[in-house]
Amino acid sequence: MRRAAIEGRPSHERTSARRAYDGTPTHDGMPVAARNGRPLSTEISPGRAEQRYPDAMTAAARTDSAAEDRPGNRTRAGNVPALERATGRPWHEWLRIFEAAGASGLGHAGIVGVARAAMPAELQNPDWWAQGAAIAYEQHAGLRVPGQSSSGGFRVGASRTLPLDRDAAIEAWDDAHGDRAEHLGHAAGEPRRSRTDKRSFLRFDLDGAGRVEVAATPKGEKTSLAVSHDGLADGERIEEWRAHWKSLLAEL
């Protein structure tokens, strides 16, 4: 009943009402997408969405459920609830935007462009959310499976918050695991350290199993230490790798 009441309001009131209904916007569940790829273009401003994708925006305003009735993979990605909360737009409206724009034939960059154009003007980090929306649609449409990157390879990650500064967190990882000769049967290359103004890194290659980045990001007085494993040939061992990285983080 409450959802129906929200849908009946004018569009500017629906956004506020949905946020109150769905809770505080959060980044929980969203993938880390743009970090290892090329910077996204921000030439499409949210205010120009109707000019750039008029059919998509018109379709989103319709209340029919045709998009829900069409056949397809219908995978509901894990990041969808967070996307709905942050944007104030339910998933079925996002589907209408993507499908009206012909997103299934646009490729990843084109899908990101459609999502970016439809992001609310007041939303923080709209490029990041656009990446997440594009990945959710690609999973829904069967264009990629969970864990698959836009290049066709697979990635997996894990993270933990530590009561250390960022450099000490990297040092803790290196002390505990830097001398490991292999991970799940794949020889580990020489670790390489680097740092920027905001984060500290340790990276190494795995023979036949891609690349690993350990990134330490300040989080108040603590540090978020995240392991990102990219370049897996298939998704068959994703959960095995996830458990492996979680266990190593737990040892710190």
Do residues 178 and 121 share a domain?
Answer: no
Query: According to the model, what pLDDT value does residue 105 have?
Result: 86
Residue 146 lies in a domain: no
Do residues 204 and 114 share a domain?
Answer: no
Residue 37 lies in a domain: yes
**Domain of 199: which CATH number?**
3.30.530.20
Please report which confidence band the pLDDT of residue 152 belongs to, taking 50, 70 and 90 as the band edges. Answer: low
Do residues 136 and 159 share a domain?
Answer: no
Residue 78 lies in a domain: yes
Do residues 17 and 129 share a domain?
Answer: yes
Please report which confidence band the pLDDT of residue 232 belongs to, taking 50, 70 and 90 as the band edges. Answer: confident
Residue 149 lies in a domain: no
* pLDDT > 80? residue 25: no
Residue 145 lies in a domain: no
What is the rounded average pLDDT of the residues 158-180? 96
Do residues 218 and 105 share a domain?
Answer: no
Do residues 133 and 12 share a domain?
Answer: yes
Residue 246 lies in a domain: yes
Residue 148 lies in a domain: no
Do residues 9 and 123 share a domain?
Answer: yes
Q: Summarize pLDDT for 42-101 with one digit per residue, the tens.
A: 333 334 444 444 444 444 443 333 333 333 334 445 578 889 999 999 999 999 999 999
Do residues 131 and 169 share a domain?
Answer: no
Give the residue among 201, 180, 191, 199 at the shortest CA–CA distance from 244. 180
Query: According to the model, what pLDDT value does residue 160 have?
Result: 96
Do residues 6 and 127 share a domain?
Answer: yes
Burial class of residue 4, CB neighbours in 10 A (0-12, 13-18, 19+): exposed
Residue 63 belongs to domain spanning: 2-140
Among 140, 173, 190, the domain boundary falls at 140
Among 90, 108, 140, the domain boundary falls at 140
- Predicted structure pTM score: 0.47
Query: According to the model, what pLDDT value does residue 168 have?
Result: 97
Instruction: Please provide the average confidence, as pLDDT, over all residues in the chain.
Output: 75
Do residues 12 and 120 share a domain?
Answer: yes
* pLDDT > 90? residue 189: yes
Do residues 81 and 31 share a domain?
Answer: yes
The answer to whether the beta carbons of residues 59 and 121 sit under 8 Å apart is: no
- Count of the separate structural domains present in the chain: 2
Do residues 19 and 73 share a domain?
Answer: yes
